Homo-oligomer: A and B are copies of this chain.
Amino acid sequence: MKIAMIGLGAMGAAAARNLVNRGFDVTGFDPREAARAELVAAGGRAAATAREAATGADAVVTFVVNAAQVEAAVLGADGAAHGMAPGTPLVQCATVSAAFIAAFGLRMAERGLSVVDAPVSGGVLRSGDGTLSIMMSGPREAVAHVKPMLDAMGRFVYDFGDALGAGSTVKTINQLLCGVHLAVLGEALALGRRAHLDPEKLLEVYGNSAAMSWMMNDRGPRALEETPPTKSAVDIFVKDLGLVLDTGKDLKFPLPMAAAAMQQFLSLSGRGQGGLDDSQLWRAYPPPPEAG
């Protein structure tokens, strides 16, 4: 099966390598030459444009950052759509709004191309070993066509039916949960510091109590580092909680927890710290008195 992978950032590059390792014929495109070279070194092929990567592919996968990049990479000049044969499915893995993917699907249909809504969760490690969670919806024929590839990318492939946008709504709610869990982890650690409690010990206690979350176990140790490398930036959640709140507005649905979390991410981003690792959200709170 010939796959075009559009977007070779951390997640896309890992997914492309995984598909190569599992015997897929993968041609990747990314504007960064180093990213293309890495895929070639891993046994894949590289194309100079998304259009070229998509030409002759059985399926095209977009692993980019947001809706604007999907738009540009697929429908822009030298975009993938210009190379895709009629009937070829596009598997869209970026986190975008349900409203965007539904409208995008209609525009692709006008060109005789189908779309599978397939946002993922699990991070770079799980992308690299093909154990992502994939939240999928889309037309049945396209879904059946790409199922072997999705099974190679993910351990959990959840099918939410044929309505384009259902998968993205499931992912949006996933980000609502993750964003709030991160925000309250920051709040808990910041309050603990203010109360002169050892944050390392607090993480140990809460990891063994009803207060445990996956986010706490994953981000907690990095939260305690003074300058951890950025694995996932504060600004990613500014974007994703933005999608969550847009979804609430579209559906006329109040989301007070998401709204509160968004303010904390914005508080840090607005101080020019949007590039920090998202484990550092406790910095949005007042410092302990001694540091004050």
Contacts and interface: CB of A to CB of B under 8 A. Distances in A.
Interface of A: 98, 121-123, 133, 135, 156, 158, 160, 166, 169-170, 173-174, 176-178, 180-181, 183-185, 187-188, 190-192, 194-195, 197, 201-202, 204-206, 208-216, 218, 247-248, 251, 253-261, 263-264, 285-286
Given A181-B213, A210-B214, A212-B214, 11 more contacts: A123-B210, A133-B205, A133-B209, A160-B201, A166-B197, A173-B192, A177-B216, A180-B187, A181-B184, A210-B218, A260-B260
A257 B211 CA distance: 14
B192 A122 contact: no
A197 to B, nearest CB: 6
B206 A177 contact: yes
A264 B192 CA distance: 24
Contacts of A206: 173-174, 177
B191 A248 contact: yes
Contacts of A254: 285-286
B195 A188 contact: no
Contacts of A211: 121, 173-174, 177-178, 181, 214
Given A169-B195, A177-B184, A247-B191, A208 B257 contact: no
B251 A195 contact: yes
A184 B257 contact: yes
Contact of A173 (B98, B191, B255, B261): B191
Given A181-B184, A285-B254, A121 B195 contact: no
B176 A191 contact: yes
Nearest to A184: B180
Contact of A191 (B184, B194, B208, B253): B253
Given A211-B121, A213-B181, A260-B260, A205 B156 contact: yes
Nearest to A166: B197
B253 A205 contact: no
Contacts of A98: 195
Q: Which residue, of A160, A166, A170, A263, has the highest number of chain B Cβ atoms within 10 A?
A: A170
Given A251-B191, A285-B253, A170 B202 contact: yes
B255 A187 contact: yes
B286 A208 contact: no
